[in-house]
Amino acid sequence: MCLLPVATATAESESATSSNKAKKVIPENSDSGADAGPPELLQNSTIFVEEEEEAKSKSKIDADANALLLLAEEELLADEIAKETIEAGRGHRDERGVRDQWESDEHLTSESISKFDTRKGRPISNDVKRLLKQYRLECNDCDHNEAVQKVNNYVRETKRLTKLEKERKEKYDRWSYRIFTSIIIIGLSLAYIYQKEILTTLLGNDYETRIRRMVTSGGNGGGGSDLSGFTETQRTEIMRLRRQHASDAATKRQQQEASTAVQPPTWLDNEKKEIWTSKQEKQFQKACREYSGVPKKERYKLIAEKVDDKSRIECLTHHRMIELLEKQQQQQQQ
């Protein structure tokens, strides 16, 4: 009977260490001397408490594991949902490189702007009306935003046209300056090269005409011999030109007389009139090649023997004519 409290205390201590909520089978206020029942009942009660505690701990572990699994499944499900959402939003981005909604310009049209513009229907302000009147623009049935857009478009277009006109004018002025400068340079160069002729033309066409008349007249009566209007230097120059003119006229006259006179024909003219057949030419060329190393005194005699109906003199003059014509042709080519 003395061992009962010890067994009860041991069971209570074990159950307390395993769980703070262990149930007490034997009451604490039981007297040590009272009848506590048989030992088998106490031992069975202790085993029952331990099994109950193990079942509770096992169920708690299972509940925690189920909670962790449920949490992991929820996370996986959230990841899958996010992935599907992203893929649905991407559309064919992997193929095209842009989103489906980015390809649409429906939101950029004037209808969409006016549709989603909360300020539509706002009356045109006085400043915008003044600008419309100043720029002579008409904007019927327009609200404030449309009028502002129209004014801005007009200003931008005006600036663009002004810029283009300015660039065109600058380009035209630049090319005009280059062309004008080139013309001036070319004109000055020609004036420097032909300055004597230009000065003569500018300073006195009448003076040149008078001198030419004096020179060509030769002082043979009339007003041609009157040199009173010229200085001494000019008179001397006129007399020199007269003598030169007379000398040139005499030389020209002599050349004309010589050209009109009948000149006797030369040996070359006579040889050109000589008739040579193709057969004779072939015989002559062949004989010249055959006797090219023979001295001239004997060469043409041998050549004449090879050519039909031609003498030594005829072969000689014919050969001289060929050499002279070839020489003249070479000089002309040079």
Q: What is the pLDDT of residues 234-287, one digit of tens each?
A: 778 878 888 888 888 888 888 887 777 667 778 888 888 889 999 999 999 999
What integer is the mean pLDDT of 89-118? 56
Model-level pTM?
0.26
pLDDT tens-digit series, residues 194-234:
876 766 666 555 555 666 666 666 554 444 455 666 677 87
Task: Please say if the pLDDT value at position 60 is more than 70.
Answer: yes
Cα-based distances in Å from 193 to 90, 180, 196, 198? 82, 20, 8, 10
- pLDDT for position 221: 43
CA distance 295 to 183: 70
Tell me the C-alpha to C-alpha distance, in Å, between residue 33 and each of 2, 8, 41, 49, 196.
Answer: 8, 14, 18, 25, 165
Q: Which of 247, 236, 235, 239 is nearest to 218 (CA)?
A: 239
Give the separation between CA 50 and CA 15, rounded to whole angstroms. Answer: 7
pLDDT bin (cut points 50, 70, 90) of residue 152 is very high
Q: CA-to-CA distance for 97 and 147, rounded, in angstroms?
A: 38
Q: What is the pLDDT of residue 182?
A: 94
